[in-house]
Amino acid sequence: MATIFNSLPLFSIFIIQLIVLSSAAGFTVDLIHRDSPKSPFYDPSASRTDRLTNAVRRSFTRAASHSRKQNCLAPNNIQSEIIPASGEYLMKISIGTPRFQVLVIADTGSDLTWTQCKPCKNCYKQKAPLFDPKQSSTYRALTCKTRACQALGAFSSCRQDKNICQYSESYGDRSFSRGDLAVETFTFGSSSGQALSFPTKVFGCGFSNSGTFNETASGIIGLGGGPLSIVRQLGKEINGKFSYCLVDLESSSTSKIKFGEDAVVSGKGVVSTPIVRKEVDTFYYLTLESITVGSKRLAHKTKLPSETGSSFKVEEGNIIIDSGTTLTFLPVDLYETMEDELVKAINKKNTADPQRFFSLCYSDTSIVPPALTFNFKGGAKVVLPPSSTFVLNGDLLCLAMVPVPTTDLAIFGNLSQMNFLIGYDLEKSVLSFKPTDCDKQ
């Protein structure tokens, strides 16, 4: 069996634990995969095939939810369609004064951070104690006319009796969180005793929360691109920068995410592409111009008429990058052209996936497929090795990319991001890739 392929291609959930802190340079955080023995979600009875099946299902659910969120553009109709159990990370942080540690789902597809709070009359079961705002000297509920309350738009309401802004987050599986919008001190800390605190950060104190949330986590921390996400709120304190490097899951090392000047991606091999702002500002949109299979370049088929009407141009922001989605989802026309070229290049008989998750599979797991290059705007050529494009699915070797209708959202998933240092510069609206041995980060 070929050793270049990943037998556990599941970057769906990680635990984030602070390991290095520096107020000048930023801070670095460990990412632990949900199926690692270090994870509270770890199930020792689950087989490799079980874990892959679960990750793929979460990937499809998350992709469908992202598409629904993008296509619902009317402000009163938009819902935060992120499924709590699909493609998240976990993050250990502390809130309040004195510090109160919570374990929250970190989601690049959500903005508002919230946690369950006392008194909670309608809460899902949670193993850890609930945060009590009355015990914190730095907790402050926000009034209805504050800028943060207005930023929630249709997701906010006002408690007229106390003039307190209330939030309401609904998710695609009918899970929800409701409570007071507030500000509090967020602290990132480590067992070494080092800590870095950020005061007056907006979050939701949830007094009514229900649905499919896991009892291990206390809530969600939003890492999206919207104004209320934690990375946007940290803003100048991290110079609008964060980056991560995802290791191969066969590795004994852990992945890393960095904030601040430590997150700058530079040096030999770096390629960069613009981050495109669109109506749904939670997502990080990129512009995919083409895909190269081996040496054959395949133009992106999703195009819009140009101003002249006689020629065409590639749509800006036609794909998002999402560290919480396992697979890569491509428009059906582009996918089918790419698959045809892969079949020709591999020149082996393919086999149908009995679970019908994957479109292209081989029973011969020793095949060595050609490299795929994703060509993004600005000349950013991201060359994906076979270990990032094909995964072991039971006894089959399958392409970890699937087609979606052209009306759905295309997603550059985390398998395609393996062993790249990926940097987000939100001040310059630029995303950078650098081929990197993430084991050494």
What residues contact 52, with CB distance under 8 A and at least 6 apart?
A: 8, 9, 10, 391, 392, 393, 394
Six-digit token string for 157 = 């309401």
Q: What is the spatial distance between Cα 79 and Cα 172, in angstroms, rounded to a whole number?
A: 8
Please tell me which residue in 35, 107, 111, 248 is annotated as part of the active site. 107
Question: Which tokens in the block code for residue 153?
Answer: 């738009």
Q: Parallel, antiparallel, or unpaired for β 14-22 and 89-95?
A: parallel
Backbone conformation region of residue 236, classed left if phi is above 0, alpha if psi is from -120 to 50, else beta: alpha
Nearest to 106 by CA among 239, 6, 244, 279: 244
Residue tagged active-site, from 30, 35, 262, 322: 322
Calpha distance 400→326 (Å, rounded): 8
Q: What share of the chain is helix, strand, coil (3-state, %, to 5)?
A: 15, 35, 45
Let me know if 107 is a catalytic residue. Answer: yes
CB–CB of 422/245 below 8 Å? yes
Judge whether 59 and 86 are in contact, CB under 8 Å. Answer: yes
Q: CA-to-CA distance for 348 and 367, rounded, in angstroms? A: 8
* Cis peptide, bond prior to residue 119, ω within 30 of zero: yes
Strand ordering across the sheet containing 296-299: 296-299, 288-293, 372-376, 380-384
Q: Which residues lie below 8 Å from residue 152, measured CB to CB, with a gap of 6+?
A: 112, 165, 167, 181, 228
Is 169:216 a contact under the CB 8 Å cutoff?
A: no
Q: How far is CA 397 from CA 2, 92, 367, 374, in A?
A: 10, 35, 9, 21
Alpha-helical segments (H) within 95-191:
147-151
Which residues sit opposite 221 in a β-bridge? 106
Q: How far is CA 324 from CA 111, 255, 304, in A?
A: 14, 14, 29
Q: Active-site positions?
A: 107, 322
